[in-house]
Amino acid sequence: PPSASLGLRRVMSEPDTNTYFGTNTSPQASNSTKSSIKSYPSPSTSADPIRSSYSVQKEDAKVGPDSFIKLRLLGRGNVGRVYLVKQKETDKLYALKVLSKKEMINRNKIKRAMAEQAILSTANHPFIVPLYHSFQSNDHLYLCLEFCVGGEFFRALQQRPGRVLEEHEARFYAAEVVAALEYLHLMGIVFRDLKPENILLHESGHLMLSDFDLSIQAPAAGPPTMVKPSSPFFQQPMLDTRSCTNLRTNSFVGTEEYLAPEVIRGNGHSSTVDWWTLGILLYEMLFSFTPFKGATRNDTFELILKRNVEFPDLTSNPYRTSPGISSQCKACIRKLLNKNDKKRLGARAGASEVKSHAFFKPVNFALLRHMRPPIVPSKSNAVDAVHFKALKESVSLDLEDSRSQSGNEEAGPVTDSQSDPFEYFNS
């Protein structure tokens, strides 16, 4: 993952990018282009305005491993690590995800890395982590991403009193996730691994989805359609973002406590799995634990398949300033956690249906990005990475000695095969 793991638990309408960013280009770069960060003032009247998430402009550039200075290790996983690095030319900080080709081949994870690079190189949304460069050396793949000072959202939740959020705070972050999922679904992408560990906190306090290696993209995203509302209280037609992800897959992927019933049954799943995981995330933000966790993996699966969601009594919780969870909030969670994926909230019209639920009525989705988030990371020196768990490297990576597969350098073979499985990785 792109940030440190605590080891405590788990092994809209389409955005007007001209308005958001002043350009319609993607926040990614290849060996010949790069994107630079430029901030725009927030309309907040606060004496301490929050910097906007990011905007994108393209410039000519050529980067490789030796373009960066490694500062510290931020996180590590089975096939790679994430480093805080500084670009020599600009002194800007980035999160550099370094993936081992050998480990990816051994663990059969080549397609996942290629899928993540393909999705991030085309995504352009304020609540999705931007990819600025991607390149490779003989032994590694590199993804140069936005450095989110606030670290993992999971870690931020763990540091809150009682490890919980108030309902209005949870609604704010759930709304940002809905906006990001809406954008992904419009692009024909199903995220499939939503959880606090895969959400990063930008320095502004806004969320950014990360880790797209389990995501799947439809070969061709279909056009959105209009759906008549099922409720007599909402007469306006809804934009059906579900129709864009015209795929169904039987892959058994996701995180144990967040898996949807249809994934466990192996009956095939679609974009509605993202709305199930949103329900689990919302529940965890409010109660500090997931609703179906069992003593063992099989127990967890059994509870997901058979038990109805239950809400604990919060009247005696010393960390709560409000008396309890509203009926609208409970109703939203119940509908998101409907075990029948065809009746789940979002199954009929996607994000538009979720946004129209009474729980999100106080939210102005168009202005989310300009609102002050409940959690704003401390303004300590970003290089210190205080919101990341301190990790030590067992085997150090030397960026200076990493030879790039570009120019006239001759790349060594990564497999016995004549074809290079990473040939099309460079963006």
Q: Where are the beta strands (DSSP E) in 44-112?
A: 56-60, 68-76, 80-87, 93-100
The answer to whether 269 touches 248, Cβ cutoff 8 Å, is yes
Catalytic, 193? Answer: yes
Nearest-CA neighbor of 77 among 10, 165, 164? Answer: 10
Q: What is the pLDDT of residue 130?
A: 95
Better-scored residue on pLDDT, 178 or 21: 178
pTM: 0.78
Segments in 224-374 forming alpha helices (H): 261-265, 272-287, 297-306, 327-336, 351-355
pLDDT at position 331 over 90: yes
Averaged pLDDT score across all residues of the chain: 78
Segments in 123-235 forming alpha helices (H): 153-158, 167-186
pLDDT at position 219 over 80: no
The answer to whether 171 touches 360, Cβ cutoff 8 Å, is yes
Place of tokens 């192996």: 266
Q: What is the pLDDT of residue 270?
A: 87
Provide, for the chain, the percentages of residues in helix, strand and coil under a 3-state DSSP scheme, each rounded to the nearest 5: 30, 15, 55
Nearest-CA neighbor of 333 among 285, 398, 267, 271? Answer: 285
163 φ, ψ to 5°? Answer: 60, 35
Segments in 38-109 forming alpha helices (H): 101-106
201 φ, ψ to 5°? Answer: -100, 115
pLDDT at position 409 over 70: no
What is the DSSP secondary structure assignment for residue 152, as one 8-state letter? B
pLDDT band at 401 (very low <50, low <70, confident <90, very high): low
Q: What is the pLDDT of residue 332?
A: 98
pLDDT at position 53 over 80: no
- Catalytic position from the list 193, 240, 274, 341: 193
pLDDT at position 414 over 90: no
Please compute the mean of the pLDDT values over residues 375-389 and round it to a whole number.
74
pLDDT at position 410 over 90: no
pLDDT band at 54 (very low <50, low <70, confident <90, very high): very low
Better-scored residue on pLDDT, 190 or 384: 190
The upper half-sphere exposure of residue 60, i.e. CA atoms within 13 Å in the direction of its Cβ, equals 0
Window from 5-19, 74-88, 373-387 with minimum mean pLDDT: 5-19
pLDDT at position 6 over 70: no
Please compute the mean of the pLDDT values over residues 323-337 and round it to a whole number.
94
Window from 49-53, 59-63, 225-229, 324-328 with minimum mean pLDDT: 49-53
Window from 70-74, 239-243, 336-340 with minimum mean pLDDT: 239-243
Place of tokens 């960026």: 399
Please compute the mean of the pLDDT values over residues 345-366 and round it to a whole number.
93
Tell me the pLDDT tens digit for each residue of 77-122.
Answer: 888 899 999 999 999 999 999 999 999 999 999 888 998 999 999 9
Q: What is the pLDDT of residue 289?
A: 94
pLDDT at position 164 over 80: yes
Over pLDDT 90: what percentage of the chain? 49
Helix (H, G, I), strand (E, B) or coil at 73: strand
Report the distance separating Cα 150 and Cα 387, nearest Å: 6
Report the distance separating Cα 350 and Cα 181, nearest Å: 9
Tell me the pLDDT tens digit for each residue of 140-157.
Answer: 999 999 999 999 999 999
Q: What is the pLDDT of residue 424?
A: 67
For 167, the token pair is 């309902």
Over pLDDT 70: what percentage of the chain? 71
Report the distance separating Cα 378 and Cα 151, nearest Å: 11
Report the distance separating Cα 8 and Cα 237, nearest Å: 44
Domains of the chain, first to last: 65-147 (3.30.200.20), 152-370 (1.10.510.10)
Amino acid identity for residue 200 in this structure: L
For 7, the token pair is 């080891």
Q: What is the pLDDT of residue 200?
A: 95
Report the distance separating Cα 101 and Cα 107, nearest Å: 10
DSSP lists the bridge partners of residue 33 as 60
Nearest 10 degrees: Cα torsion 406, 407, 412, 414? 20
Helix (H, G, I), strand (E, B) or coil at 285: helix
pLDDT at position 124 over 80: yes
Report the distance separating Cα 248 and Cα 270, nearest Å: 5
